[in-house]
Chain A
Amino acid sequence: MSNFFTWAFILPLLQATIRMATPYTLAAIGGIYSDKAGVSSIELEGILLMGAFTGFATVYYTNSLWLAVLVAMLSGVLLVGIYAFMVVMLGCKSALIGTAIVLLASGLTNFYYRSIFGVSSEYTSIIPFKNFTVPILGHIPVIGKIFFQQNALVYISFILVFATWYFFEKTALGLECRSVGENPFAADTLGLPVVRLRMINVLITGSIAAIAGAYLSIATSSSFVENMSAEKGYAAFAIIILGRYSPIGAFLGCLLYGFADALQLNLQAIGINVPYQFMLMMPYIFTLIVMFIAGKGEKPEGHSKFFKKGLQIT
């Protein structure tokens, strides 16, 4: 037990926590845009997969990491566009379309991965994002090491957390976006374009969550693995509720998940005598516990309520 409480164990563990938390953070921050506007973000898992694959393929062909991020975002927007159209414009049930989107993304990415890169036991790999130390901040003792010696996408996730909070809390447009999630009918009577605002928010979700996917294949690893998002999208869906639909709350929740993931890896690394399958279960057990504690959370009142012009409240 003694080797648990040494700097040599804790510092890398916390560093890994941030690294592992980032895909959750990007996915959850993305999802918050949908949820705040009253559209469920249950489709996140599919976007992650899509982003992971398109990001990876772009780096493979162009060797450009930033172009890959852009392409991933674009693919996320396209995929979520189907979801947005069906759910926001047509009023289909989000759980149904969300599941279809996840299955579609899983099928598409597996198919194209195999047809492009072939089926072999060796993974095709690329050169991923590298860690770099942020000037000044990166040299603060301990904190610098944990937070500011990471790769660029991690820093982007930090910025997005703050920017999203600022957007929803401090800007007029953010207030409008929240109002269509709280009471779309009220927003309509004030002349706000409810459907358009909801569509835009869901598309933003697609673009940000796709970065989370790309992060998995071109930042923390150097290859694409089938279904590599490993339910992180669903975890993010739960974290948003746990974080009471606030970007800051969600970020804290993501750190918790990142910690569970990191602990699982690091415990395996020091060879603790627990079957590794059990360790792998930890994030999922976490999700269940978290949902149990968080309950329904304080949903926006108009969450998952369909809105169409001329539709009356009954």
Chain B
Amino acid sequence: MKALEIKNLTKKFGKLVANDDISFTLDCGEVLAILGENGAGKTTLMRGIYGMDVPDNGQIWIREKQEEITCPKDAISLGIGMVHQHFMLVNNFTVAENLVLGMKEFTGQVLNRKEIYKKINSFFQQYNFDVPADAKVKDLPVGLQQRVEIMKALFRGAQILVLDEPTAVLTPQETKELFTIIRKLQKEGKSIIFISHKLEEVKEISQRIMVLRLGKVSGIVDTKDADEAIMARMMIGRDLVAMKKKELDPDLKREKVLEVKNLTVKDGKKTVVKGIDFTVYSNEILGVAGVDGNGQLELVEAIAGLRKSEDGRILLKNRNIKGKSVKFIRKSGLAHIPEDRRVRGLITGFSLVDNSILTNHDNKPFSNGIIINRKATVEFTKNNICKYNIKTESENALASSLSGGNQQKVIIAREISSKPELLVAMKPTRGLDVGAVEYIHCCLLAERDKGKGILLLSSELEEIMTLSDRIMVMHGGEITGIVYPDEVTTEEIGLMMAGVKREKMAKLPKEGVIV
């Protein structure tokens, strides 16, 4: 039986056609993957099915009956559950409160918490989910929060479960656990829509794959027949260029670009970076791997001067930058691509011109120290737009009007053009689609080949593995290993990320001579 059938669904936002005449079916007990770049219309489609953005046109059939879904309540009562990309949980509520919220038919008007916790705990046991029902959601790690979201949908009797980019926030281990759950639900006869832009995952978990591109279905295939190269072409409309890391000259002269010695950083009263030592050399990408929240963010903030560090030394080109102002540090040759482009990378209410000269606005040629030279700034921005292929209406468009990938290009253009010695990049491809990721990787490699030192932090292990010359793994604020990527497996790195220390540290880059 078909659990869900979508016929000719269309949704427009103003002039933009987010979903253009989309039709597909989902069988009972099937995992259907929806693959597509950002902005391909995956989330809009799901919001349509869940009643959050009512489609302009088209029909939704559930269990072979046509239904009208105009609000989430309709969707819930038809057995549709959705796990959103940004979790829809109330962090200050307990797990059980999140589950029963809005279910007066279950709780009655007056809440008897003891009774509720008991019932929810026994509900969890059916799924071998052992989180106490009275735990606050905000105290749970991301992986468990996601599990709570799934439980929330199941508790409401979901037969069709939509997972919107569920693996984006998970570690490799957590992803495996999620897949186990998906398979179990599938065995119970539940149907699952799994949204992703990662090809390998989709191949592992789904029976069929639907690819969306620019709001249209560009193909539906059985997973067993799916070919990665073809899928990628369906997704981005062209072939991916295989990335090549240039071999370095064995006699290359290298210098120390960044030297961190015995650095300790605190977050409030908690020590989050515990006396670590490492060095970034010229012509090198030092990748930092680790599960989020193991001190990487604080390390970057300390280096960039955004956070006070306690003990230790930070030397940039043999010059102390610890305890100095951000301005001084940047002048000394540091460029920083921050984790959140909308919060720290850009001022979204500023135009591209203004964003492009930020941090350099008081230097020649952009200003004489007092008055900004408009002509020079516009010239510079136009140049960047052209050179980095930034898609925008004009250089005066607001940064907020750009897509994530183009916003990131604006930041990269600005940072690279400041001619840094050291480029610190924190999750530079987070939430970007394949095409943009590829472009940014090329930029980073080009900088490395030019002789810069790059400190690259990412939660995507694959990114770290392909780009880095050396990989440093952090766990609990300590370095658990520094390795060469071609001498380790992903599993070994996974172990270091979990806290297993390695004796031998790769203190120096493989090729070249240190001067």
Contact = CB atoms under 8 A, between A and B. Distances in A.
B155 to A, nearest CB: 11
Given A187-B102, A189-B50, A189-B84, A172 B111 contact: yes
Contacts of A127: none
Interface of B: 50, 52-53, 71-73, 76, 82, 84, 86-93, 97-98, 100-102, 104, 107-111, 342
Nearest to A190: B102
Contacts of B93: 175, 178-179, 182
Nearest to A302: B90
For the side of the interface on A, what is the size category?
20 to 34
A170 B102 contact: no
Interface string A284-314: 0000000000000010110000000110011
Contacts of B110: 170-172
Contacts of B101: 175-176, 179, 186-187, 190, 192
A-B interface, 9 closest residue pairs, ranked by CB to CB distance from nearest: A191-B73, A186-B88, A190-B102, A182-B90, A189-B88, A191-B72, A183-B90, A172-B104, A172-B107
Given A188-B72, A191-B76, A313 B86 contact: yes
A248 B465 CA distance: 55
A142 interface: no
Q: From DSSP, what is the main secondary structure of chain B's interface residues?
A: loop
A310 B52 contact: yes
A187 B111 CA distance: 18
A56 interface: no
A298 B92 CA distance: 10
A301 B137 CA distance: 13
Specify which of A172, A173, A188, A298 lies most central, judged by the most chain B CB atoms within 10 Å of its CB: A172
9 contacts: A172-B104, A172-B107, A173-B109, A179-B101, A183-B90, A185-B88, A191-B76, A300-B92, A313-B86
A39 B110 CA distance: 24
B52 A301 contact: no
Contacts of B53: 310
Specify which of B50, B53, B73 lies most central, judged by the most chain A CB atoms within 10 Å of its CB: B73
Nearest to B43: A312
A179 B107 contact: no
Contact of A189 (B72, B104, B111, B342): B72
A176 B102 contact: yes
A301 B97 contact: no
Interface in A210-266: none
Given A171-B111, A188-B72, A191-B73, 6 more contacts: A170-B110, A176-B101, A182-B91, A189-B52, A309-B52, A314-B342
A269 B90 CA distance: 51
Nearest to A186: B88
B165 to A, nearest CB: 14
A172 B82 contact: no
B102 A301 contact: no
A177 to B, nearest CB: 11
B72 A175 contact: no
B148 to A, nearest CB: 11
A310 B43 CA distance: 12
Nearest to B51: A191
Given A179-B90, A182-B91, A190 B76 contact: yes
A65 to B, nearest CB: 33
B127 to A, nearest CB: 20
A303 to B, nearest CB: 11
Nearest to B77: A191
Nearest to B92: A182
A37 to B, nearest CB: 13
A178 B76 CA distance: 21
A175 B90 CA distance: 11
Contacts of A182: 90-93
Contacts of A173: 104, 109
B44 to A, nearest CB: 9
A190 B52 CA distance: 11
Contacts of B92: 182, 298, 300-301
Nearest to B113: A170
B18 to A, nearest CB: 11
Contacts of A187: 90, 101-102
